[in-house]
A and B are shown apart, each in its own frame.
Chain A
Amino acid sequence: METFNNFLGGTVALFSDPLGILIFFGGVIGGMLFGAIPGVSMLTLAAILLPFTAHLSPEHGIMLFSVIYCTGVYGGAITAILFNIPGAPENAPTAFDGYPMTKNGQAGKAVGAAVMCSALGGTVSAVIMMIATAPIANWAISAFGPPEIFALVFFGLAVASSVGAKTFWKGWLSILAGLLIAIVGLDPVGGIERWDFNMPYLLAGIHFIPTILGFFAVTEIFVQAEKKAKGSYVAPKLSVDFPTLAELIAHKVAVIRSIVIGFFCGILPGIGATLAAFMGYNEAVRWSKNPSEFGKGKLEGVISSETANNAATGAAMIPLLALGLPGGALTAMMVGVFQMHDMEPGPLVFINSADLVWVVFAAMFFANLSILFVGYLETKTIINLLRIPFQFLAPMILCLATVGAYAVRGLTIDVIVMFVAGAIGFFLRRSGYSVAGIVLGLILGRIGEQTFAQAMQMLHFEWSGFIGRPIALGLIIAGFLTLGGSIYGAFFKKV
């Protein structure tokens, strides 16, 4: 009951003044728009808006980012489906089946399913978040130290290695390549310069946003360009036939499964939503009677990954608010918004700014609901982007991606990194490596090394120290079991 009262309080705070309502809908539309325009993403919008939130009240600033977060994760699915350009890593599995559906002339059906599943997954997740965050916060602050987070990263990588690549070895080589790229820059323990090759701008390290833009947006343009040069380019077919209600109900098992997976994966800091989407998709394939149909335009693929990644949005707020641990780039910027208003997310946030937390919760709940209505209208218009001839769409996407890559840190090296990643991705696409794996390795590499070093410092460089920490030990064992499972699957199982 207290939860419900708090929720009402948050709702009233959210909608009691006209500026709040304006910002809410601005965020909903902005998140969807930036998520859905290929080349830029909700992260671009968030990076641009971050300095401006200083002028807003804390409630408005944080509410705006929560709204962009929810709608942006959904918006990124649209470009994944229409152009094979996931707006964020968590939308990557959506493209596995979504893009083939576009090529089969079922773009409308895929996008429609994404709208409904995102709204559903997100709303359910928001409700669980409201109930669960405070108790988890109290427990996790002392239970989750660097050794536990390192163990979590290890587990996450073990799961991710089995997704997206052609073979077991290529899966791991992709992840390891990501971990390798993450090393460039200053080391996380002593600030020592590594692999900078005397280029001062490389000291900033290689950021994952330009890398994602490069591997997905730019590479896709290059591949299409090659096809066009050869004359084998086929413009995607258009359709706006939404999925019927019956079709969705037929997938109810997939939806429920993905909500559960999405929420539990979402709690993991750093990888939450991405892992959620990959695992949601992975499980859909495993449970299926006809796994070979996936990857060729199966509606269930889109449903599974989109439900899972939106179910993770609410869950990702738990480590953010409870531990001050952001789950990804956008939640990291939310930490920035908090700090700009002199608030530190972490267990104290419930003591210091409980009202504000409930504004966030209410905003996320309503943002997820509004995806359903605004998203339905928006999709009908966004889908028309496909009508633009490719030679005009390409410079548009490349310019937007340039702005998007630059806006994150204000460094031109990020633009170069993006285009180089695009060229590398062009060659990797021919070879069975998983670019999503590289990106995941890159995101987790730094957290992994840092928490490993901290864990070692805390445990006085005795590896046996992990045994004394049951949560860390459990996660590491789970990681090895996952690894063992994929080795078994790759080498001993007869297909």
Chain B
Amino acid sequence: MGNLKTGHIVEAAIWLSLTIFLYIYSFEFDKEIEIYKYGASSWPRAILLLIAIAAIGQLAFHWRSGDGAGTSMIGQATADSAEDAAHESHHDSARWYAWTFFLLAIPFVYLNLPEWIAAAMSLEKPGLHTVKLISAAVLVAIYLIAIRGNHVGGILALPILFGAFLQDFGFYAMAPVFILGVMYLFGERRYKHMVLVMAGLFALLLMFFVSLLYLGLPAGNISPFYDFGTGLVNILQ
């Protein structure tokens, strides 16, 4: 086994399985282009090949010299204490990773599931909106239960969930909840402070970007969030 650790093998395995997955998927667009001999898939496949070589090269390097950096690389990304912090908080166990990835998957369920349900039941737009509202509520509940005991996972997943909700529910309705959520997850418990900071920050954002710069932030597509967003913009502009 040389100087290999489990982590090194996992790392190489992730790279190689990613390459294989994307290589298989590249047949989807393996189309000829009339005016270009190499087609649409040669460049991606060349990159995949290089990644595979580099991943194996890295594995060989670890096998020979373990973790020892030993090279003249500069400005290392590990110069901060991120690595130590992770280790201290036991955020590097397999269980923690699995839990965190489960949390991170929640927003993607929202991005796909309602469309599938609507397609399966051949629903029109109003039906789709109902499905989306219900899925959102269920997923938020799952998220709230799942973050108990995995604080950092909750922090990682919350913004993505916020991003996933933006198009349907809008920035105007979601941002105040998001601001409160971040403050809570970051350990603030003085509710008066939280509400004051939230209101101040939200008002500043709206005044600066919406009233002053006329920036169109996502207003949402689903009632009543849509009506709230557009109504607010109407007052501000």
Contact = CB atoms under 8 A, between A and B. Distances in A.
A189 B71 CA distance: 39
Contacts of A380: none
A289 interface: no
B209 interface: yes
A466 interface: no
A395 B25 contact: no
Interface stretch (B134-142, B158-166, B229-237): B158-166
Nearest to B201: A396
Interface in A137-173: 162-173
B77 A165 contact: yes
A180 B43 CA distance: 10
A167 B54 contact: no
Contact of B75 (A96, A172, A418): A96
Interface string B143-186: 00000000110011101101110110001000100110011011
B27 to A, nearest CB: 11
B47 A395 contact: no
A164 B73 CA distance: 7
B183 A391 contact: yes
Interface residues of B, number: 83
Interface in A386-443: 390-392, 394-396, 398-400, 402-403, 406-407, 410, 412, 415-416, 418-420, 422-423, 426, 428-435
A130 B123 CA distance: 63
B61 A167 contact: yes
B15 interface: yes
Interface stretch (A224-232, A264-272, A329-337, A368-376): A224-232
A251 interface: no
Interface residues of A, number: 91
B35 to A, nearest CB: 7
A189 B36 contact: yes
A218 interface: yes
A165 B73 contact: yes
A194 B44 contact: yes
B156 A295 contact: no
Contacts, number: 255
B160 A420 contact: yes
Contact of B44 (A162, A183, A418, A461): A183
Contacts of B127: none
Nearest to B205: A399
B121 interface: no
A48 B215 contact: yes
Interface centre among B37, B55, B155 (most CB of A within 10 A): B155
B76 interface: yes
A265 to B, nearest CB: 17
Interface in A44-76: 48-49
Given A229-B152, A285-B74, A416 B107 contact: yes
A419 B160 contact: yes
A183 B43 contact: yes
Given A163-B75, A228-B186, A412-B163, A423 B80 contact: no
Interface in A21-37: none
25 contacts: A96-B79, A163-B73, A164-B75, A165-B77, A168-B71, A169-B61, A180-B44, A180-B47, A195-B26, A218-B159, A223-B80, A226-B91, A229-B151, A230-B88, A285-B75, A391-B182, A394-B186, A398-B178, A398-B182, A403-B205, A423-B104, A430-B83, A432-B76, A457-B36, A490-B73
Given A402-B163, A406-B166, A457-B36, 7 more contacts: A167-B71, A179-B47, A225-B155, A395-B201, A407-B215, A429-B78, A461-B38
Smallest CB-CB A-B distances: 6 pairs: A169-B58, A190-B33, A391-B186, A416-B163, A419-B159, A415-B163
Interface of B: 11, 15, 22, 25-26, 29, 31, 33-41, 43-44, 47-48, 50-51, 54-55, 57-58, 61, 69-83, 85-86, 88-89, 91-92, 104, 107, 111, 151-152, 155-157, 159-160, 162-164, 166-167, 171, 175, 178-179, 182-183, 185-188, 197-198, 201, 205, 209, 213, 215-218
Interface of A: 48-49, 84, 93, 96, 99-100, 162-173, 176-177, 179-180, 183, 187, 189-190, 192-195, 197, 199, 218, 222-223, 225-230, 232, 281-282, 285, 291, 294-296, 390-392, 394-396, 398-400, 402-403, 406-407, 410, 412, 415-416, 418-420, 422-423, 426, 428-435, 449, 452-453, 456-457, 461, 489-490, 493, 495
